[in-house]
Amino acid sequence: MFSRFALMSFLVCSGFLSVNTYAAESSSDTASQFSVCNKAFAEDEANTALESANKVLAQDKDSRAALLCKGRALNVLGQYQEALAALNSAEALSQIPLEHIIALTLIGNVQKNTKQYSEAQSTYEKSLAISQSEKNNYLERTNLNLLGDNFLAANQLQKGLDSYLAGSKLAANDNERADGFERIAATYKLMANYDKAIEYQIKAYLMQEQAGDLDQYANAGLELGAIYTTAGNYVNAEKYINKTLKLSRDNGGAYWEAKSEYYLALNKIANQKPADAKPLLLDAQKISSDIGAKGLSEQISSALKALPK
Supply the pTM of this predicted model.
0.86
Report the alpha-carbon distance of residue 227 to residue 241 in Å, rounded. 11
For 272, residues 6+ apart whose C-beta sits below 8 A from its C-beta are none
* Number of continuous H segments (helices) and E segments (strands) in the chain: 18, 0
Q: How far is CA 76 from CA 49, 95, 183, 208, 224, in A?
A: 10, 26, 23, 29, 30
Lowest mean pLDDT among 25-34, 194-203, 251-260, 269-278: 25-34
Q: What is the mean pLDDT of the chain?
A: 89
Superfamily for the 1-94 domain: Tetratricopeptide repeat domain (1.25.40.10)
Report the alpha-carbon distance of residue 162 to residue 165 in Å, rounded. 5
Could you tell me which of 231, 228, 302, 227 has the C-alpha nearest to residue 262? 302
Torsional sign, CA 141, 121, 79, 53: positive
Taking only the tens place, the pLDDT of each residue in 76-110 is: 999 999 999 999 999 999 999 999 999 999 999 99
Mean pLDDT, residues 10-29 = 39
End-to-end CA distance of the chain: 31
Query: From the centroid of its chain, how far is CA 202?
Result: 20
Q: Domain ranges in the chain?
A: 1-94
Taking only the tens place, the pLDDT of each residue in 177-224 is: 999 999 999 999 999 999 999 999 999 999 999 999 999 999 999 999
